Amino acid sequence: MNKEQKKEYMREWRKKNPDYRKRYYENNKEKERTLSKEWDRNNKEKKLEINKKANSNYRKNNPIKTEARIKSRKEIKTGICRDCNKKKETEFHHISYEPHVVIELCKKCHYERHKDK
């Protein structure tokens, strides 16, 4: 089997086994995390470049959400969660992505709101 034949064989194999990568990751989580962290440490500039490009693409593709995030940063936090009324470190949750339509939630309540979607 030459190089091109092997590539073609692997392409076909991946098509027939689409969940292989997911199963492999589930069985090797720690190894994958270690390798990922190592890659991050050894490729800081490349990772920064990849993140910048991804963020730039997100901003281009989601202008309304981006504008809402920028405007919500100017809101003043009270530190009181709107759902559980406890004084905690809070985050802004966009009810809709219109600017200034945000509420303050603690991390737990914010997670619960997104989990329900």
H/E stretch holding 70: helix 63-72
In a domain, 95, yes or no: yes
**Which two three-digit tokens encode residue 81?**
């969660």
- Helix (H, G, I), strand (E, B), or coil: what is residue 102? strand
Does some domain include residue 107? yes
pLDDT in tens, 13-22: 999 999 998 8
Is the distance from CB of 117 to CB of 93 less than 8 angstroms? no
Residue 80 DSSP code: B
Q: What's the chain's average pLDDT?
A: 88
Q: Reduce the DSSP state of residue 96 to 3 states and report it.
A: coil
Asked if the model's pLDDT at residue 75 lies above 80, the reply is no
pLDDT band at 52 (very low <50, low <70, confident <90, very high): very high
Domain span at 98: 64-117
Asked if 92 and 104 count as a contact pair (C-beta separation under 8 A), the reply is yes
Which position has the higher pLDDT, 40 or 95? 40
Is residue 11 in a domain? no
Question: Into how many domains does the chain fold?
Answer: 1
Domain assignment present for 55: no
Task: Tell me the percentage of the chain whose pLDDT exceeds 90.
Answer: 56
**pLDDT at residue number 93:** 85
In a domain, 44, yes or no: no
